[in-house]
């Protein structure tokens, strides 16, 4: 118990130290960005974005709430443990069955709201998927979540059976290793399950992008195009992989709609993430965070009244799984304001990197305008939405910071 508590504190300190060493505070010293919505966005664009969010928020947020409540209903009462007990077979089958049942039931509960949100996205031209494509994505997403979560859950319950007093140590290390592995495996296994990737054919854009990466001294193996237009009109790009496997991935929607200079700027932002090793640092923070999570779980599951309440005799019994899933769903939401704050700082730094690399404020403003209007991004989010959901600064905030970059440069 004492050792687990110590390890929990140790992991949290490691998370804090990594954050302090790798996240920029402040992003641009001396900057006083002033957001001026009407300078860059026409009243009609603002009105369209507001109408879209007024329509999409109720189903989207109710879906989130209903999803959490459904998992809470199974994880905090005896309902979940009874369901697990009804699954026949070995404890591993029961554990995987529990994961599949909890996620499937919660997905079923939110289905009408998800369909409503998808309808709104289609009405505004954001979603281009067919209902069969949408269902396919939904089932694949559910499948990936069930498989990934089952791996962790079977490992945790298995270790709790084998090492009742010290499973926090083995579990914490396993969780950390799984986070590290996941970070490498995700681009190779999960991304191709949702998108089809092709190499950007030889030509001016490919040459320019590889030159940009070379100028930035960031080795890049390939420039790939993802067929995102099958499901969305949204624009995006990202860099995945490490070192020699690093690839720049562009949504085909981006190449089709944005001029090459804007594509270059967006890639320059992604190169900023690669150069600063943001994915690697995020993975390290995630690994220590996962270790902390397992230690906290161990301490929580030593609390006998909680286990009695949910009808699980011990942490090594698969009937504990619904409770564990509830905690796993709740925790990211609770820490979202903090993780989003860190993410926004890292994103702002990548924005500044793209400006340093290209020196092109006008194209930057144009590309941020295009991203915001095409993706119908919330231009003026309320604080609740901003803290809980904004992993990037808003479009107008990004433009305001860029103008400060320009002012400070002169």
Enumerate residues 91-130 that contact Zn ion by CB under 5 A: none
Q: Is 360 helix (H, G, I), strand (E, B) or coil?
A: coil
For the bound state, the minimum distance from the C-beta of residue 285 to Zn ion, rounded and expressed in Å, comes to 16
For the bound state, the minimum distance from the C-beta of residue 350 to Zn ion, rounded and expressed in Å, comes to 5
For the bound state, the minimum distance from the C-beta of residue 240 to Zn ion, rounded and expressed in Å, comes to 12
Q: Which residue has the tokens 């790939």?
A: 224
Tokens standing for 131? Answer: 């209902």
Q: In the complex with Zn ion, which residue's Cβ is closer, 154 or 350? A: 350
Stretch that binds Zn ion, among 147-155, 197-205, 213-221, 343-351 (CB under 5 A): 343-351
CB 220 within 8 A of CB 247: yes
- Cis before 209 (ω within 30): no
Q: In the complex with Zn ion, which residue's Cβ is closer, 273 or 319? A: 273
For the bound state, the minimum distance from the C-beta of residue 24 to Zn ion, rounded and expressed in Å, comes to 13
For the bound state, the minimum distance from the C-beta of residue 346 to Zn ion, rounded and expressed in Å, comes to 7
Q: In the complex with Zn ion, which residue's Cβ is closer, 63 or 377? A: 377
Task: Say which residues have a Cβ less than 8 Å from residue 185's Cβ, sequence separation at least 6.
Answer: none
CA distances from 35 to 38, 93, 349, 394, 396 (A): 9, 54, 18, 10, 6
Stretch that binds Zn ion, among 33-41, 51-59, 307-315, 340-348 (CB under 5 A): 340-348
Report the sign of the C-alpha dihedral through residues 185, 186, 189, 195, in that order. Answer: negative
Q: In the complex with Zn ion, which residue's Cβ is closer, 33 or 282? A: 282
Count, residues near Zn ion per rule CB under 5 A: 2
Q: Is 238 helix (H, G, I), strand (E, B) or coil?
A: strand
CA distance 247 to 320: 41
User: By CB under 5 A, is residue 350 in contact with Zn ion?
Assistant: yes
Q: Which one, of 281, 279, 258, 261, lies nearest residue 270 by Cα? A: 279
For the bound state, the minimum distance from the C-beta of residue 269 to Zn ion, rounded and expressed in Å, comes to 6
CA distance 175 to 328: 13
Q: In the complex with Zn ion, which residue's Cβ is closer, 99 or 350? A: 350
For the bound state, the minimum distance from the C-beta of residue 309 to Zn ion, rounded and expressed in Å, comes to 42
Enumerate residues 248-307 that contact Zn ion by CB under 5 A: none
Q: In the complex with Zn ion, which residue's Cβ is closer, 63 or 283? A: 283
For the bound state, the minimum distance from the C-beta of residue 347 to Zn ion, rounded and expressed in Å, comes to 5
Q: In the complex with Zn ion, which residue's Cβ is closer, 67 or 395? A: 395
Q: In the complex with Zn ion, which residue's Cβ is closer, 287 or 346? A: 346
Task: Say which residues have a Cβ less than 8 Å from residue 76's Cβ, sequence separation at least 6.
Answer: 309, 310, 323, 326
Stretch that binds Zn ion, among 20-28, 180-188, 342-350, 363-371 (CB under 5 A): 342-350
Task: Say which residues have a Cβ less than 8 Å from residue 196's Cβ, sequence separation at least 6.
Answer: 226, 227
**Beta-bridge mates of residue 154:** none
How many Cα atoms are found within 13 Å in the side-chain-facing hemisphere of 220?
31
List of residues contacting Zn ion (CB under 5 A): 347, 350
């Amino acid at each position: 118990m004492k050792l687990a508590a110590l390890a929990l504190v140790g992991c949290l300190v490691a998370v804090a130290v990594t954050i302090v060493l790798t996240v920029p505070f402040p992003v641009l010293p001396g900057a006083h960005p002033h957001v001026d919505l009407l300078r860059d966005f026409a009243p009609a664009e603002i009105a369209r974005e507001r109408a879209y969010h007024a329509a999409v928020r109720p189903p989207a947020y109710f879906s989130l709430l209903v999803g959490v409540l459904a998992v809470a209903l199974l994880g905090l009462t005896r309902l979940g443990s009874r369901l697990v007990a009804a699954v026949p077979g070995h404890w591993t089958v029961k554990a995987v069955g529990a994961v599949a049942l909890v996620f499937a039931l919660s997905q079923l509960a939110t289905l009408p709201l998800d369909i409503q949100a998808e309808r709104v996205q289609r009405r505004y031209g954001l979603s281009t998927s067919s209902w069969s494509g949408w269902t396919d994505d939904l089932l694949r997403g559910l499948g990936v979540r069930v498989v990934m979560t089952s791996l962790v859950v079977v490992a945790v319950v298995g270790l709790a059976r084998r090492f009742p007093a010290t499973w926090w140590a083995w579990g914490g290390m396993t969780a950390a290793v799984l986070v590290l592995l996941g970070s490498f495996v995700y681009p190779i296994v999960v991304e191709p399950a949702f998108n089809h990737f092709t190499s950007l054919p030889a030509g001016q854009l490919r040459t320019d992008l590889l030159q940009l990466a070379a100028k930035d001294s960031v080795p890049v193996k390939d420039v790939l195009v993802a067929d995102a237009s099958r499901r969305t009109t949204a624009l995006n790009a990202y860099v995945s992989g490490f070192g020699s496997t690093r690839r720049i991935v562009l949504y085909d929607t981006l190449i089709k709609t944005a001029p090459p200079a804007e594509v270059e700027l967006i890639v320059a932002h992604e190169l900023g993430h690669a150069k600063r090793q943001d994915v690697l640092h995020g993975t390290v923070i995630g690994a220590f965070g996962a270790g902390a999570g397992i230690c906290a779980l161990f301490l929580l599951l030593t609390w006998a009244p909680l286990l009695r309440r949910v009808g699980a005799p011990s942490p090594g019994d698969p009937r504990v799984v619904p409770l564990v899933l509830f905690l796993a769903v709740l925790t990211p939401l609770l820490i979202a304001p903090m993780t989003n704050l860190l993410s926004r700082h890292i994103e702002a730094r990548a924005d500044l990197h793209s400006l340093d690399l290209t020196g092109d404020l006008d194209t930057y403003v144009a590309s941020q305008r295009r991203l915001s209007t095409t993706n119908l991004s919330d231009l003026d989010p309320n604080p609740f939405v901003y803290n809980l959901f904004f992993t990037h600064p808003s479009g107008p905030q990004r433009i305001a910071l860029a103008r400060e970059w320009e002012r400070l440069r002169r």
